[in-house]
Structure 1
Amino acid sequence: MKKLSQHLGADIPSGLVVFLVALPLCLGVALASNAPLFAGIIAGIVGGLIIGSLSGSSLSVSGPAAGLTAIVAVAIGKMPAYEAFILSVVIAGVLQIVLGTLKAGILGDYVPNSVIRGMLAAIGLILIFKQLPHLLGYKVGFSPAAMGIGLVSVGILLLWDRPFFKKKKFFRFVPGPLMVVAVGIILSVALEQNGSAHTLAPHHLVNLPVAGDLGDFTAFFRLPDWHYLGRLDVWTTGLTIALVASLETLLCIEAIDKLDPYNRSTPTNRELKAQGIGNIVSGMLGGLPVTSVIVRSSANLDAGARTRMSTILHGSLLLLSVLLIPGLLNAIPLSALAAILVMTGYKLAKPTLFREFHRKGWDQFVPFVVTIVAILLTDLLIGIVIGIAFALFFLLRSNFHSAVMIVHDGNKYLLRFRKDVSFLNKPIVKQRLEGLPEDSFILIDMTRADFIDKDVLDVIDEFMHHAHLKNIRVEVRKNGQPVIQKKAA
């Protein structure tokens, strides 16, 4: 703890900045997940206090993530009660601890970048589609005031991203989402106090429970119902959350470690265990599932954080905010939170991203698009699996075509192996060899191959045994020297 307190001069302001970014996002993710808004705050507090204390990452910040909104929303809709869903969150936490114990921290390295970016783009589109009704004031009936606040909020976020604003110290210190929340509160309060006919109805505002004392506050937490432990959908949801949350965490950790000015490396298996404990605690209290989140982690890094104390401080501030100012939080318009999520979704699925992958070629573009479409039509986990399958197909196809090359000049042929020649190349090798004309010469060059499957070697051996029947001369070369020569009869 002494080491963590050495950099409080940098970590305290960083923790404040992350808190200001995290507060509206915790509420927004809960809104997008069709979960109680208080569940998002619980997840944010757990991500800061519990995971922040146990994690080996100096800069990563955990909390409720936009990447899980689709899974959570569908699961909550299918479950017989919210208490069954948070039981799935607890199960996910246990599974993450198992993954960490089994040293599965390298899983993120095996997911192709095209699939990762496709997953993020699909999440962005889901956020946009789900939040447009809230943004335009259509939750229950139509509210012109809610729509007006939503559009003003979008305008603020667009201005905050302009280079002119980014250069100013004030705008770097005050995050755009915080300004959206502040302006939204001012507008909603002003409409109410002026007695406007367009005053926001309660269902267009945040509705967190307000505690009169600490005893009332603890009553707001919800416990999982263990009677649902025998349901298959509870376990399926838990497994899905564990896999997707672990993957998102590992990818975020990798990205933040690359940006760390001190080149520190996060122990990934320890991180999975910390995330697992965090999800167990969050689920036991009625909170949403948690992951390491790139938006908050980036804000932490940009604010100059040095240690994970900034993450712990941000969790403490979230706890104090719901204890001391719940009334102020309940004045936040839902359309303002929807604007934050819509803009977050747009950044994840920008049109430039599609153009970028199209320029990279079909082997990158097709898995990227397939992942997006599959996630939109099914769910996150199935979509990722389908995307990986397509990426592997293009990878194998590329290796298949590049591993074996054959050229000829007249009746002289060169069959060259490059990189890894697997059993998948066996048909084409056999076809090329058997298709050689009579009275020809073939040089089989293995000098550039790192690996050749035994099935392929067997094909070559079988061909050499009967090549003389077509008066074909064969030479096999390895390491630059002819090692096998078979003369025609």
Structure 2
Amino acid sequence: MRRALAHWRQDLPASLVVFLVAVPLCVGVAVASGVPAERGLVTGIVGGLVVGLLPGSSLQVSGPAAGLTVLVFDAVQRFGLGSLGVLVLAAGLLQIAMGLLRTGRWFRAISLSVVHGMLAGIGLILILGQLYAVSGRVAPSSGGGKITHLPGLAADWFTGRAATTALLMGAATVVLLTLWKKLPAPVRAVPAPLAAVALAAAATAAFGLDVPRVEVDGLLDSVALPTGDGFAAVTGAAGLGTVLAFALIASAESLFSAAAVDRMHHGPRTDYDRELTAQGIGNTLCGLLGALPMTAVIVRSAANVQAGARSKTSRVLHGLWLLLFAALLPAALGLIPLAVLGGVLIHAGAKLIPVQALATLWRGHRGELVVLVVTTAAIVLTTLFEGVLIGVGLAVAKSAWQTSHLHIDLTDTGPGGPLRIRLSGNATFLRLPRLLDTLESLPSGRAVELDWTDLRHLDHACRTALLTWAGRHTAHSDTAITWEPPLTAAAAAAATGRT
């Protein structure tokens, strides 16, 4: 408490900055997820007032995240809005269990290429979906459908069949957010998303623009406690898969954000297991309230650090400001055009695409680039959870292939002399075809000296293959095979076919 009070001069203004950044993002993520705008604010309030007080990370801020938009939208379409709270509740309980079991640190073992691919896939789906939204069109349900229908959407833009005013407003929002960093410092003191929303709302009111706006029901009216129908959704395989996807992706995004935020300040480091538990408690409460799932969000967290926050006070206060705003000024949400929120999310989706990482991987790590691209494509064409699993599987396969290098050196000592084969590296089943091709190409009438002292690893498949080949080689010739190091008696008997 003393530490918090000691830094209130830095934390108070920082909390206001984070609040101003959080308002449009909470509302935009909720709308894009297909849920009432107030539920996004509820998640932001819980992230500030509850998770903000819990141990784990000191400066990162939690709330609804663009990274879960695709998954939430799919869950709402599949199970219904009434089931969302139960799904989030179950995911939160799973996160608490993972935190108590100290699994938080293991999230740091995920391939960075898979993470970048996941973010890129989410970003692309977010961009594609919002392109249809700002054009007044219903987006196809599948990622592939969103891509194949793009020519028709573009035709609507140029023929005037799209919602021209909303489309221009969304485009202007993206341009404004992109150029905001180049404006004078006094102007940049206002958060870019807030400026875009305020300008669009003012223009809509001043010129009487006929564009769809955010629908407001009130904060208390948006709270939806879990129902029996909602619990029924979790009992099926699809529901359990969604819960697992919520928990794993929200946990990964939170802990990756924590690692990034830790590099931005010199204060206390994140306790990953405690942070995972804190996120679980937050999601459990969000589920009980029927709100969106939460993660630690890098945009708000970075704004918190850059605004000079020193302790947890700033993120707790940002939750308080969200609560006061939603309770006292709910009508202000009804002034916000949906098109400007679509523009904010298109810009947020573009920032999820790791352009610099793509260039770096192309120059030096093209295998990792393949993992990234495949993960991205799999997420767009299938589902977020399936795409991540495909990416992780490919990364594991790539790592296994690269770490199983086997060097085979063959030396012919001349007429009458033995063939010397020296094996080094890792002899695993992945290299078995090459090993057998080399051994089976040897002439049967020559003695062989097989040196495997430099092998770091010899798995059961390769060892069995070597012994089997040795047995066949000695059975068809009068020449012997010399092993270095020598085989055990049982292995030697197996190699020569004796029992």
TM range (shorter): 0.7 to 0.9
* Structure-1 residue corresponding to 2:255: 250
The code of the aligned residue for 1:367 comes to V
* 1:222 maps to which of 219, 224, 234: 224
**Alpha carbons 1:208, 1:330 under 8 Å: kept:** yes
Instruction: Indicate which of 484, 488, 498 corresponds to 1:476.
Output: 484
Of 310, 320, 331, which residue of structure 2 is paired with 1:316? Answer: 320
Deviations 1:349-392 (A, max 9, x none): 26555444433444212221221121112211111001111222
Write the letter of the residue equivalent to 2:259. Answer: E
Query: Is the counterpart of residue 237 in structure 1 residue 245 in structure 2?
Result: no
1:276 aligns with 2:288: no
Q: CA deviation at 1:332?
A: 1.3
Q: Which amino acid aligns with 2:285?
A: V
Aligned to 2:210: 200
The aligned residue for residue 408 of structure 2 is 406
User: What does 1:390-429 align with in structure 2 at a 5 Å threshold?
Assistant: 390-400=394-404, 402=405, 404-411=406-413, 413-418=420-425, 420-426=426-432, 428-429=434-435
Identical-pair percentage: 36
Note if 1:37 corresponds to 2:37.
yes
Post-superposition Cα deviations, 1:65-86, rounded to whole Å, max 9, x if no partner, equal 111111110110112x422121
Indicate the SS of the match to 2:446: coil
Shift of the 15–450 alpha-carbon distance from structure 1 to 2, 3 Å rule, reads: farther
CA RMSD, Structure 1 to Structure 2 (Å): 2.8
Amino acid at match of 2:309: A
Whether the 8 Å contact between 2:36 and 2:222 is mirrored in structure 1 is no
- Give 1:325 deviation, angstroms: 2.1
Are the aligned partners of 1:24 and 1:178 in contact in 2 as well (CA < 8 Å)?
Answer: yes
**Aligned pairs (5 A) from 1:128-207:** 128-136=127-135, 142-162=162-182, 165=183, 168-192=184-208, 199-201=209-211, 204-207=212-215
* Equivalence for 1:99: 98
Deviation of the 1:62 alpha carbon: 0.9
2:380 equivalent in structure 1: 376
Is the CA contact 1:417–1:446 (under 8 Å) kept in the aligned structure 2? yes
CA contact (8 A) 2:85 2:230 kept: no
Residue 191 (structure 1) shift: 1.3
Q: Secondary structure at the match of 1:283?
A: helix
Judging changes above 3 Å, is the alpha-carbon distance between structure 1 residues 425 and 353 closer, same or farther for their aligned structure 2 residues?
closer
CA deviation digits over 1:299-338, x for unaligned, max 9?
2222222222211111111111112222223211111111
Kept in 1, the 8 Å contact 2:39–2:222? The answer is: no
Q: 1:163-201 deviations in whole A, cap 9, x for unaligned?
A: xx3xx4324432211111121121112113xxxxxx234
Q: CA deviation at 1:120?
A: 0.4
Which AA in structure 1 matches 2:232? G
Q: 1:379 & 1:181 partners in 2: Cα distance?
A: 31
Deviation of 1:258 after TM superposition, in Å, equals: 3.0
**TM-score using structure 1 length:** 0.85
The one-letter amino acid paired with 2:248 is L
CA distance in 1, matches of 2:401, 2:303: 40
Post-superposition offset of 1:43: 0.7
Aligned length: 456
Shift of 1:269: 1.5
AA aligned to 1:250 is L
For residues 273-312 of structure 1, the aligned pairs below 5 Å read: 273-312=277-316
Q: Secondary structure at the match of 2:216?
A: coil
Instruction: Give the Å deviation of 1:34.
Output: 0.9
Mapped partners of 1:377, 1:190: distance in 2:
42
Gaps of 5+ in 1: 193-198, 211-216, 479-483, 485-489
* Residues 236 and 139 of structure 1: CA distance in aligned 2, closer, same or farther (over 3 Å): closer
Deviation of the 1:414 alpha carbon = 4.3
CA contact (8 A) 1:61 1:296 kept: yes
**Which deviates more, 33-42 or 172-181?**
172-181
- SS in structure 1 at match of 2:407: strand
Q: How does 1:39-54 map to 2 (within 5 A)?
A: 39-54=39-54
Unmatched segments (≥5 aa) in structure 2: 140-160, 414-418, 487-491, 493-499
Matched, 1:452 2:454: no
Instruction: Quote how far apart the aligned CAs of 1:261 are.
Output: 2.5
Asked if the contact 1:94/1:276 (under 8 Å) is kept, the reply is yes
Instruction: Return the alpha-carbon distance in structure 2 between the equivalents of residues 362 and 281 of structure 1.
Output: 43
Q: What's the offset of the Cα at 1:446?
A: 3.1
Superposed displacement of residue 161, structure 1: 3.5
Residue among 341, 353, 364 paired with 1:349: 353
- After TM superposition, the score normalised by the length of structure 2 is 0.83
The 3-state SS of whatever aligns with 1:62 is strand
For structure 1, which segment, 389-398 or 59-68, has the greater mean C-alpha deviation from structure 2 after superposition? 389-398
1:37 is displaced (CA, Å) by 0.8
3-state secondary structure, aligned to 1:259: coil
Following TM superposition, by how much is the alpha carbon of 1:234 offset from its aligned partner in structure 2, in angstroms? 3.7
| Distance verdict in 2 for CA 1:378–1:271, change over 3 Å | same
Letter in 2 for 1:173: A
Q: Distance in 1 between matches of 2:457 and 2:14?
A: 51
Change (3 A) 1:139 1:330: farther
